[in-house]
Structure 1
Amino acid sequence: MTYRNDPYDPKQVALLDPAALAEAVDAARRAFAAAADPDELTGLRPAHLGDRAPVSLARREIGALPPAAKAEAGKRVNEARRTIEAGFAERRAELDRAEAARVLVAERVDVTLPYDRCPRGARHPMTLLMEQIGDLFVGMGYEIAEGPEAELEWANFDALNIPPDHPARGLMDTVHLAAPGTTGAPGTTAAPGTTGAPGTTGGAEGSGLVLRTHTSSVQVRTMLTRQPPIYIICPGRVYRTDELDATHSPVFHQVEGLVVDRGITMAHLRGTLEHFARMMFGADARVRWRPHYFPFTEPSAEFDVWFPQHRAGPRWVEWGGCGMVNPRVLRACGVDPEVYSGFAFGMGIDRTLMLRHGISEIRDTFEGDVRFSRALGVEA
């Protein structure tokens, strides 16, 4: 048989020779054995099993043989082709197994559950610092006091000698929840019979409701419900209408302290705060005081700490405010200023954390990025 437009001459029957067929089979086996991967093996198939392969050309020569020789020649050609196809399939299976083994090693995935795949939750560095401060003062004989975050305006301002026209009471600084004369949140009622400091709007009755701007309101509630001696600290969240930026936040944390007892002086306050500073910033921490004014303390001061390694260069950094409790505040809370005296102080816990660790962005402290917590160290 012949193919149209094919220059092959079927009268040349050399490829039907058994030796030629055996050579074709051996050549195919050697080529298949040399293939390194399935793709390379597939590329060899046309040369040994395609239309122009030796066994395919040998099949065309069968037509040139006498009828008696065609059957035997066809048998030899078909056997050679089946041998080549079997060799191809065998080599293909070997390469597929080798490729599968390679992929299993190269793309291995450990499906077992490692012990730290789901790490245990941990407390935020801010929480840890608040607990460290609490432990420090508890060790000094203080108690930790708490109060509502939605606070009576009287406890937040009036009882602290902050008059109604003070700028801090305006909408630019304070978040107001309820106007005076309206019903406050549950649990915000002041002690019965309390009266405002002279010159203020009076007692708690009819007071407005605000988000506390400082934890000093907890000091007021403590003095209203307890008799001196009082040694407390008041850590917690406070709220201001500040714009969020690198150093300000509308929600931040403070710790305030209050001591009311007989014979309390500024010397007690200075010793307490210097010890506090050294525990927060190291035994070599340097501190200084600057005269200042606060309505609820008299005399008052601001408290600075020296930072030689500050990110902006060595400098004094304001840490907080302090002073002796104003007698008007003591009197508003039912404490006789002729018998008792006291001191109070307040520091930002966020600022303390930032100063201790060189943090320049207050937003990093509450965005929830686990990398921030891990960098500062977390505890279960």
Structure 2
Amino acid sequence: MKEQLEAIRKHALEAIAATREAAELESLRVKYLGKKGELTAVLKQMGTLSAELRPVMGQMANEVRANVEKAMESQASILSQKAMEAQLKLETVDVTIPGRKIEIGHKHPMYSVLDEIKEIFINMGFEIMDGPEVEEADYNFTKLNTPDDHPAREWSDTFYLDPDSKTLLRTQTSPMQIRAMETYGVPIRMISPGRVYRKDEVDATHSPMFHQIEGLVVDRGITMADLKGTLNAVIREIYGPETKTRFRPHHFPFTEPSCEVDIQCHKCGGKGCPTCKGEGWIEVLGAGMVHPKVLSGCGVDPDEYSGFAFGMGLERLAMGQFKISDLRLIFENDMRFLSQF
């Protein structure tokens, strides 16, 4: 038995000193000191010894156990220190290495234009008002003097939400003009930016969802000259003092007289290109004098008050300001495109 104990001591101490990981050390503890370990197996033989040898072998067995446990504690400390050193070496930071560039987000080009337009109109004394995107047909069409048989009210042009065509995704932010006059009365000077929805085909200048800015001015003595002066001032503030505009007669149910306003194509300078469809001009907004029926429908006396209204597409304004040739780029969220602005 003495030889067995000495062999256990020798082999255990050698194996412990050779370990490189904590898992190996734990495996050795189980092998030599566990319930089914080698030292335990030897101690189970104590009953076969004589009464004189039992105390001697018992003392020797305790010494072997103490030697093995001490060796394990010492090796565990060494392995822990080495693991710490390895971890520190792995996590060493070289402060002389240039830092990584942090990409910081920035405002979308369309909302940059929107903020600029808001500031222009606020400086001109306009208020900003917001309204629901899910709108009643009464506000989107009827109160804007749009008859029941108007093409814009067809299911092929508008996103209706019920079979009775009474609720829809608004096709313009003009309903907010009606709500504003009903709520606050006149005189009034306001703009209403927001998302609108129409069943347009997707191409370089159209999208079924886009952003519009509608404006309204109602007061005593408002004329077409006020309309043209205001819109020219806004457009030249956005695109520069040399921007050329063109007012063309048009028809809108809610204004009379009505007009469309174009700016000279930023891409070709008026020569004609795919962006302007060869015309040299790009339509940016529709406008006109508020129809007397619209005023009277909101409880405003058209003999005492007059006003003008306008609506402009935000995406087209952004296209003009940033020289963007295709409206779809604004919605595609391509970082290669957006990072330019």
**What's the TM-score once normalised by structure 2's chain length?**
0.67
Residues in 2 aligned to 1:256 and 1:365: alpha-carbon distance in whole angstroms: 21
Amino acid at match of 1:176: Y
2:316 is the alignment partner of 1:358: no
CA distance in structure 2 between the aligned counterparts of 1:332 and 1:115, rounded to whole angstroms: 62
RMSD (Å) for aligned C-alpha atoms: 2.1
The 2-side partners of 1:178 and 1:112 are apart by 63
Name the SS of the counterpart of 1:364 in structure 2: helix
1:225 maps to 2:183: yes
> In the alignment, which of 178, 181, 188 is matched to residue 162 of structure 2?
178
Mapped pair 1:278 → 2:263: no
Given the superposition, is the C-alpha separation of residues 365 and 308 from structure 1 closer, same or farther in structure 2, using an over 3 Å criterion? Answer: closer
Equivalent residue number for residue 328 of structure 1: 293
Query: Does the 8 Å contact 2:188/2:219 carry over to 1?
Result: yes
Q: Tell whether the 8 Å contact from 2:170 to 2:197 is kept in structure 1 after alignment.
A: yes
CA contact (8 A) 1:238 1:251 kept: yes
Distance, in Å, in 1 between the alignment partners of 2:240 and 2:208 is: 30
Superposed counterparts of 1:118-133, under 5 Å: 119-133=103-117
Alignment of 1:197-276 (within 5 A): 208-276=166-234
Whole-angstrom distance in 1 between the partners of 2:325 and 2:238 = 18
Q: Is residue 284 of structure 2 the alignment partner of residue 319 of structure 1?
A: yes
Three-state SS of the structure 1 residue aligned to 2:101 is coil
Which of 143, 147, 160 is the matching residue for 1:159?
A: 143
Q: Please give the alpha-carbon distance, in whole angstroms, between the structure 2 residues aligned to 1:111 and 1:340.
A: 72
The alpha-carbon deviation at position 303 of structure 1 amounts to 0.9
Cα offsets for 1:275-314 (capped at 9, x unmatched): 0110111111121211111100001111121236527835
Larger mean CA deviation between 360-369 and 157-166 belongs to 360-369
The percentage of counterpart residues that share the same residue type is 50
Count of aligned pairs between the two proteins: 241
User: What is the match of residue 306 of structure 2?
Assistant: 341
In structure 2, stretches of 5+ residues that fail to align are: 1-93, 273-279
- In structure 2, the CA distance between the partners of 1:286 and 1:312, relative to structure 1 (3 Å rule), is closer
CA distance in 2, matches of 1:324, 1:259: 9
The separation in 2 between residues aligned to 1:123 and 1:133, in whole angstroms, is: 15
Q: Structure 1: how far apart are the matches of 2:228 and 2:167?
A: 34
Equivalent pair of 1:311/1:358 in contact (CA under 8 Å)? no
1:116 aligns with 2:101: yes
Deviation at 1:233, TM superposition (A): 0.7
For residue 133 of structure 2, what is the amino acid of its counterpart?
A: E
2:291 pairs with 1:307:
no
Deviations 1:209-234 (A, max 9, x none): 10000110111111110111100011
- CA distance change for structure 1 residues 177 and 309 in 2, over 3 Å: closer, same or farther? closer
Match of 1:26 in 2: none
8 Å Cα contact 2:315-2:327 kept in structure 1: yes
Q: For structure 1, which runs of at least 5 residues remain unmatched after alignment?
A: 1-108, 181-206
1:178 aligned counterpart, secondary structure: coil
Pair 115,333 (structure 1): closer, same or farther in 2 beyond 3 Å: farther
| In structure 2, C-alpha distance between the alignment counterparts of 1:216 and 1:281, rounded to whole Å | 24
Distance between the aligned counterparts of 1:115 and 1:134, measured in 2? 37
- Structure-2 separation of matches of 1:312 and 1:287: 11
DSSP 3-state at the match of 1:272: helix
Question: 1:337 Cα deviation (Å)?
Answer: 0.9
Cα displacement (A) at 1:113: 9.1
Shift of the 339–112 alpha-carbon distance from structure 1 to 2, 3 Å rule, reads: farther
Name the CA shift for 1:280/1:208 in 2 (closer, same or farther; >3 Å).
same
